[in-house]
Chain A
Amino acid sequence: MPFQYLPVMAQNSAPKPPRVLVSPTKPAWCPIKKPLSESRVALLSSAALRLAHQEPFIPREDFNYRRVPSDPSAGELIIDHHSGIGRVPKQDPEIVFPRTALANLHKRGDVGSLAPFHFSFMGGLRDHGKIENELAPAIANDLKQAQVDLALLVPY
């Protein structure tokens, strides 16, 4: 049986009420139309990731996002997310943001192409309406501009 996160989170946050999980009001579904080997792929991360020279995220309610170059040689990644779980991934952000692994899959032909940029934002934001009406559409617009076929979200 998979690890149950919600009871542990509720226990740890007591006496505050448990976190409310919200599904999108407009659930999205589309079949995968192209083989991966012909698809342009981008990563999405809620780890509040950025390059060192990019403006830091401001915990906890930062609704901006960063474009992170998909080329792994573009620079060191920094995680700004405030979660204590970050002690391990901050040692090596690639374990939550597999930029190098994806680039290698592209080199060996498994992935058609890489978007020029991946995207990162702050996970755990509480204003769900602002996520759905502002943050997500802005990222979706960038994905469309980049002609991305497949956006892979890795929650933090």
Chain B
Amino acid sequence: MIGTAHDIMSQVTPPHALFVDHPVGRTFGPPHDRARNQAVLARALEELPKFTRSGEIRDPGLQWLSDGSRIWEDELRAEMRQDH
């Protein structure tokens, strides 16, 4: 599994969980950025041979913003509110 919701993945214990620290719905990057889609997928797949047990969540260090800031979280909360 390659997912963005660390808290959910930690509860449902998939056999191999790769965490991408992006907003939900943008697992492989922003729309129409094929280079980034490929870079995220390739980086995540590099982690596969490192799994040793079920329920382990591996974090390859992929961040949404290059400076590591988390300003996107407020936008995501607003977006999720509109979902309801």
Contact = CB atoms under 8 A, between A and B. Distances in A.
Interface stretch (A27-35, A51-59, A63-71, A135-143): A27-35
Interface residues of A, number: 46
Interface string B1-39: 111111110011111100101011111111110100110
A29 B83 contact: no
A92 B42 CA distance: 19
A95 B5 CA distance: 15
B42 A105 contact: yes
Contact of A88 (B2, B31, B41, B42): B31
Nearest to A27: B54
Given A6-B8, A36-B45, A85 B83 contact: yes
A141 B84 CA distance: 36
A8 B51 CA distance: 30
Contacts of A9: 80
Contact of B42 (A3, A23, A27, A110): A110
Nearest to B48: A32
Contacts of B80: 8-9, 12, 84-85
Contacts of A105: 38, 41-42, 45
A32 B49 contact: yes
A95 B42 contact: no
Given A85-B83, A88-B26, A104-B34, 7 more contacts: A2-B21, A35-B49, A83-B25, A84-B84, A91-B32, A98-B38, A155-B8
